Amino acid sequence: MSTPDGGTRPAPTDSGPRPSTPTTPTPKKDDPAMAQRIDVKDLNIYYGDFLAVEGVTMTIEPRSVTAFIGPSGCGKSTFLRTLNRMHEVIPGASVHGSVEMEGVDLYGADIDPVAVRRQIGMVFQRPNPFPTMSIEENVLAGVRLLNKKISKSDAADLVEASLASANLWNEVKDRLQKPGAGLSGGQQQRLCIARAIAVKPQVLLMDEPCSALDPISTLAIEDLITELKKDYTIVIVTHNMQQAARVSDRTGFFNIAGTGSPGKLIEMDDTGTMFSTPKEKATEDYISGRFG
């Protein structure tokens, strides 16, 4: 498979500049079905007739963290949401091009978008736990909302494993029945991550997951991301260069020529290369803070 974004063929698992933090092993890590490669080809993304993102072609490697950076309004969120077909829930929104996960076109005629979202989970910018549910029910939401049968002990195991993976178990294990909305913002965000991984997705998309959080909670979530990449393919949008440099293996830079014109993927490469010797002038300017 080629990497048409112009970058060198990455070896993401060992090319990262920093060592991964040694932490307790996460559950379900030996499941071979987890973590998949995503290939995007010539993707044009529309809101009605407005072309928001144009001509994106990229490869997202499994078991690695891919970061998207770029100025506000360049279409990072829009692009991210096309990866799990969340884009089309917006009235009038449409997508042209192909997104393939392990060779299967996610936009194929016989593909159910609901099934895609079950495999590609998402964490949003603002923590959004279900306000009517307890902490435990929030974690189980993916199971319960689908009316799936689950035994009491399986449910308890799933809750513990998911919360432990999200580094939240120790903080909430004594108050699982308390409302999820009663947690702090950082805890709520980790609860949302636990909720997303409880449905055992293969890919996890995160749209500025730390932008509403304090530095400590941010650090907790960055550690978590580093740990989760052993099992998941992770894609993260961030405005924080240091964060992109810290957590990601590959970085994609999106830019926009001006208001009204579509956002484009300017350059994508290993994070180390992107931050030291980017090929494009625009990338260098953005990373060194000269605009955006």
Ligand X SMILES: Nc1ncnc2c1ncn2[C@@H]1O[C@H](COP(=O)(O)OP(=O)(O)OP(=O)(O)O)[C@@H](O)[C@H]1O
Q: List interacting residues with Mg ion (CB under 5 A).
A: 77
| 36 is an interface residue for another protein by CB under 8 A | no
Quick check: 221 and 227 in contact, CB under 8 A?
A: no
Closer CB to ligand X, 97 or 179, in the complex: 97
Half-sphere exposure of 197 toward its Cβ, with a 13 Å CA cutoff?
33
Binding string to another protein for residues 70 to 109, with x set by CB under 8 A, is what?
--------------x-x--x-x------------------
74-88 burial, b for 16+ CB within 10 Å, e for fewer? bbbbbbbbbbbbbbe
Residue 72 site contact among ligand X, another protein, Mg ion, none (CB < 5 to 8 Å, cut-off depends on kind): ligand X
Residue 162 site contact among ligand X, another protein, Mg ion, none (CB < 5 to 8 Å, cut-off depends on kind): none
Closer CB to ligand X, 17 or 73, in the complex: 73
| 174 is an interface residue for another protein by CB under 8 A | no
Least distance in angstroms from the C-beta of 287 to another protein = 30
Least distance in angstroms from the C-beta of 259 to another protein = 24
Exposed/middle/buried for residue 132 (C-beta within 10 Å: 0-12, 13-18, 19+): exposed
Binders in 49-88 for ligand X, by CB under 6 A: 50, 52, 70, 72-78
| Dihedral, 115, 120, 125, 128 alpha carbons, nearest 10 | 50
| 195 is an interface residue for another protein by CB under 8 A | yes
User: Element (H or E) spanning 157, and its range?
Assistant: helix 152-165
Residue 167 site contact among another protein, ligand X, Mg ion, none (CB < 5 to 8 Å, cut-off depends on kind): none
Find how far residue 56's CA is from the centre of its chain: 17
- Select from 37, 41, 118, 279 the one that contacts another protein (CB under 8 A): 118
Provide the pairing of β-strand 93-101 with 233-237: unpaired
Quick check: 177 and 135 in contact, CB under 8 A?
A: yes
